[in-house]
Amino acid sequence: MKLFSLLAAAGGANAAYTVLATNYSPSNFFDYFAFYTGADPTNGFVQYIGRDSAVNQGIISQGNTAYIGVDKTNVANNGRQSVRLESKARYTRGLYVLDLAHMPTGCGTWPAFWTLGDNWPNNGEIDVIEGVHEQIGNNVALHTSDGCTVSGSGQTGQVLTTNCYVSAPNQSSNQGCASHDNRANSYGGAFNSNGGGVYAMEWNSDFIKVWFFPRGSIPADALAGNPEPANWGTPVAMYQGSCNINSKFNAHRIIFNITFCGDWAGSVWGSSGCQSRAATCNEYVAANPGAFSEAYFRVNSLKVWSS
């Protein structure tokens, strides 16, 4: 296991990133990831399968792009088959730039692109892309141990909560410090109809920021050499305040996963706009394989930079 401690990115200096720590090339994308096959920690109606099974069933493929999907063929009374990819490398700080052509969407789905430290929540969690069902707009959040709050200023996204502690009083359990991007094309079907876009997350000792750039509005340097986020304008989410970033976030792996129902998507089924299709989220996901033809990530590129 590689551990990248991107120390040169530790400060808040406004400078271009010049060192490419990892290029997750689509042609051999899955070589960089371990396939988690245990029970879903979020209690989803899912069976996470290994690489060989996923390849054989057409759930993953790589080439000019990397395809990360789910079983869309079989009735799944014991949970729908999917994958949860966890990077073999670990990272502390840096700039993470994901170019997506397509993200999962549809009733019952709960996809995410995120980073996670061990001994949760003590080494932190950063949710860059997350949503459920046919949600409008993307959710961004941090999850930490006690003692991390943020100001909520300096961002374009809607501030939902400012206490990152997973058991914060007067917040939903594990809500963390959350923001919502009200642009429809930042998530789901509208994202896909627009040809996708670029998500970028910058993590240093002073702050954690997340940007989203729709296709057609992507800064030239975001996908080229030497990206310089100081020139990218106000981020969707800006996390800074009474929080020691260095102590709360350490040695993260990068995760892509697509789960179903579970703690979030299952709990809001009755108000999701999908509830007329089945009595419960699990029943819908089990009985309707053809409903998940849009439940996939298509990755153009993923790069992790240090400066």
Q: Which amino acids are annotated catalytic?
A: 125, 130
Separation between Cα atoms, residue 178 and residue 162, nearest integer Å: 7
Listed in sequence order, the residues at least 6 apart from 72 whose beta carbon sits closer than 8 Å to its beta carbon are 289, 290, 291, 292, 293, 295
Q: Report CA-CA distances (Å) from 86 to 35, 115, 173, 242, 254.
A: 6, 9, 24, 30, 6
**Length of the chain as a residue count:** 307
| Residue 222 CB partners (closer than 8 Å, separation 6+) | 97, 198, 200, 213, 232
Joined together, the tokens standing for residue 172 give 């939903």
- Report d(CA 77, CA 33) in Å as an integer: 28
- The three-point CA angle 198-200-206 to 5° equals 165
Q: Is 98 exposed, middle or buried (0-12, 13-18, 19+ CB in 10 A)?
A: buried
